[in-house]
Amino acid sequence: MVQMTRKLADYVRQVSLREPDVLRRLRVATDAHPHAEWASDPQQTQFLTLLAQMIGAKNVVEVGTFTGYTTCALALALPAGGRIVTLDLEPSFPAVGLPFWLEAGMSERIELKLGEAIASLDALLESPGPDSFDMAYIDCNKKDYDAYYERCLGLVRPGGVIAIDNVLWGGSVIDSDDRRKSAVAIRALNRKLHGDSRVNLALLSIGDGLTLAWKRP
């Protein structure tokens, strides 16, 4: 495998990243945030938008908004009439992205739901109901990843995709001495997904690890 040096990573970004100016400026604003490390890598976000377009996604649910960089990028990738429902607990995080959503003309495509993500997902299972989304992206509280996954599996239609971020958790998944709740939860979900016959699976080493689970018909 190629060793991804900083110089090589810079090259990959130079020749692959296509970033509208409004997204670039939102990324700059996100980089200035005290929790900037929570943000998805822009190349990973671009991969997710490409994936959404490849499967013809029209309805997306995102568990974990943060500043809404990925939210806005996915909204821009959706066809006319598409929507993304994004969930977060802390209103100050998506407030960073809101002006950029408006500037991009995406506010009509983005529905922000504030509150505990599990409760919000349960509400979505009630209405609009199971199989209502084409794609889900999970990047939120790691200790609850399994609960998010199970609910997203219900929300996503057969043939839809669930993308799960941070599944390598900085390499801690192979450190059995790391008993932090987040590391334990991600390890457990990775093992569960490996044996889950409801989905087809790929774990990519992009960013901090990205799992793609395709819901089998």
Q: What is the pLDDT of residues 105-131, one digit of tens each?
A: 999 999 999 999 999 999 999 999 999
Examine residue 6 and state whether it is found in any structural domain, yes or no. no
Using CA atoms, how far residue 49 sits from 19, 46, 144, 165, in Å, is 11, 5, 25, 14
Q: Is the pLDDT of residue 3 over 90?
A: no
Examine residue 163 and state whether it is found in any structural domain, yes or no. yes
Examine residue 4 and state whether it is found in any structural domain, yes or no. no
> What is the DSSP secondary-structure string of 1-53?
-----HHHHHHHHHHH----HHHHHHHHHHHTSTTGGGSPPHHHHHHHHHHHH
Q: Is the pLDDT of residue 213 over 90?
A: yes
Strand order from edge to edge, sheet including 156-165: 110-114, 83-88, 59-63, 133-138, 156-165, 210-215, 199-204
Examine residue 13 and state whether it is found in any structural domain, yes or no. no
- pLDDT for res 4: 85
Q: How many CB atoms lie within 10 A of CB 171?
A: 11
Q: What is the pLDDT of residues 58-71, one digit of tens each?
A: 999 999 999 999 99
Q: Which domain holds residue 135?
A: 18-215
Q: How many CB atoms lie within 10 A of CB 187?
A: 18
Q: Is the pLDDT of residue 189 over 90?
A: yes
- pLDDT for res 176: 87
Q: Which residue type occupies 191? A: R
Q: Is the pLDDT of residue 50 over 90?
A: yes
**Regarding predicted confidence, which is higher, 4 or 46?**
46
Model-level pTM?
0.96
- In this structure, the strands spanning 59-63 and 83-88 are parallel
Examine residue 30 and state whether it is found in any structural domain, yes or no. yes
CATH number of the domain to which 132 belongs: 3.40.50.150
Examine residue 104 and state whether it is found in any structural domain, yes or no. yes
End-to-end CA distance of the chain: 34
Number of domains in the chain: 1
Q: How far apart are CA 94 and CA 114, in angstroms?
A: 10
Examine residue 171 and state whether it is found in any structural domain, yes or no. yes
Residues 6+ apart with CB under 8 A from 41: 206, 207
Examine residue 11 and state whether it is found in any structural domain, yes or no. no
Q: What is the pLDDT of residues 63-93, one digit of tens each?
A: 999 999 999 999 999 999 999 999 999 999 9
DSSP state of 216: P
Name the β-bridge partners of 52.
none
